[in-house]
Amino acid sequence: MTSELNAQTPAGRPRLDSLTGLRWWAAFGVFLYHMLNFAPIPIVSEFAPYGNAGVAFFFILSGFVLSYSASGRATSVRNFYWRRFARIYPAHFIALLLAIPVFYSFSPDPQQDWVKPVSFGILLLSVFLVQGWSRDPTILFSGNPAAWTLTVEAFFYMLHPWLNRTLRVLNKTVTIVVILVALTSAFGYQISIVLAPESWWAGLPLPLVRLSEFIIGMGLARLVWLGVRLSVPPLLSYVLLAGFIIWQVIGTRKGFDDWFFVWSKALHEQVLICLFVLIILTVAHRDLRGGRSLLRSKPLLHLGAWSFAFYLVHATVMYAFLAFFGKQAASFSNLIWYVPVFGIALLLSWVLYRFLEYPLEARMRRWGNTTLA
């Protein structure tokens, strides 16, 4: 079983297996964030919200993986689209079927506030992965609530062949400028939302808002192929990431109100994006030079391979527990709830990956390579 990156990397090109391990930690961060809705744990609950930034990491890594894998490879645009469909849709569709009984009811007045009355029209938006173009929570989180990100990814996939044609001819300096412009736009947009939360652009569709993250990932891949290396130990990037989050938690707890902390808190996800850039570059450099990495261990490679399925099903499992047992008061004893929720979600993700996602994608890709290449 290989990661998406390694499955697409042609023979002879350097493998970046550690990125698969990183995918797992991003998915696990999102899991911790969502568990706040069911079983919050003191102290942990102060750190868990930062796990939501795992979504931004996925978007950056998606741009990196697609561009790194496609560099120098000739394939038709229609085959590229077919591969992307094969990559995400089968697992998405099954996860959607699993989610409907948990998040929908035929009763016009469901007992749980997260359960919505069945609306086939809205559910169809999820089937076709267009729900993420709305900011209305009923639509945005329709079907499987986690799948709004797939609307964003589908938009990225649509643009990638054309964006990549432009990026692959840029030199090192221009590529760095593109990355900096994308980072600046991410910061600038969030600053504008803080200053004008009621503005019309605050309601822009998420595929447009998150596009800068995908472009950053594409630019990083271009830099790697141009030979740019960041000879910094990945440990330093991890320490910086942990240090920033710890500082944010301490500052929030102590009520820091200086302008620097207030703005760093408002822009914390954009700061994390910068740290994700550093992490991806340092980890990629270590793999390229053949350095040792725990991220390439077999357990993490397997977990990374299952991470997409895990992301799709974990909220469904958690809300099923929430429906049966109710929300738990914050307590250290809630740690015991993490065992069954995590265990069942992980088991489901393995089954989904092993018996559907991986074999069906491989079969669909073979057909596309023969028919659409």
Q: Is the pLDDT of residue 4 over 70?
A: no
For position 13, what pLDDT does the model report?
A: 64
The pLDDT of 4-21, averaged and rounded, is 69
**What separation in angstroms does the CA of 364 have from each of 9, 59, 62, 90, 357?**
17, 24, 20, 10, 10
* pLDDT band at residue 6 using 50, 70 and 90 as cut-offs: very low
User: What's the mean per-residue pLDDT of the chain?
Assistant: 94
Please state, for a pLDDT cut of 90, what percent of the chain lies above it: 89
Q: Tens digit of pLDDT for each residue in 267-314?
A: 999 999 999 999 999 999 999 999 999 999 999 999 999 999 999 999
Q: Is the pLDDT of residue 238 over 50?
A: yes
Please state, for a pLDDT cut of 70, what percent of the chain lies above it: 95
The pLDDT of 18-29, averaged and rounded, is 97
The pLDDT of 199-211, averaged and rounded, is 97
The pLDDT of 4-27, averaged and rounded, is 76
Q: Is the pLDDT of residue 11 over 60?
A: no
Q: Tens digit of pLDDT for each residue in 220-234?
A: 999 999 999 888 999
Q: Is the pLDDT of residue 159 over 50?
A: yes
pTM check: above 0.85: yes
For position 110, what pLDDT does the model report?
A: 80
Q: Tens digit of pLDDT for each residue in 48-95?
A: 999 999 999 999 999 999 999 886 566 899 999 999 999 999 999 999
Q: Tens digit of pLDDT for each residue in 122-156?
A: 999 999 999 999 999 999 999 999 999 999 999 99
Task: Tell me how far apart the alpha carbons of residues 90 and 357 are, in angstroms, rounded to a whole number.
Answer: 6
For position 1, what pLDDT does the model report?
A: 34
Q: Is the pLDDT of residue 356 over 80?
A: yes
Other residues' Cβ atoms within 10 Å of the Cβ of residue 154: 20
* pLDDT band at residue 248 using 50, 70 and 90 as cut-offs: very high
The pLDDT of 335-354, averaged and rounded, is 98
Q: Among 109-113, 220-224, 335-339, whose mean pLDDT is lowest?
A: 109-113
Q: Is the pLDDT of residue 7 over 70?
A: no
For position 255, what pLDDT does the model report?
A: 96
Q: Is the pLDDT of residue 9 over 70?
A: no
For position 14, what pLDDT does the model report?
A: 79
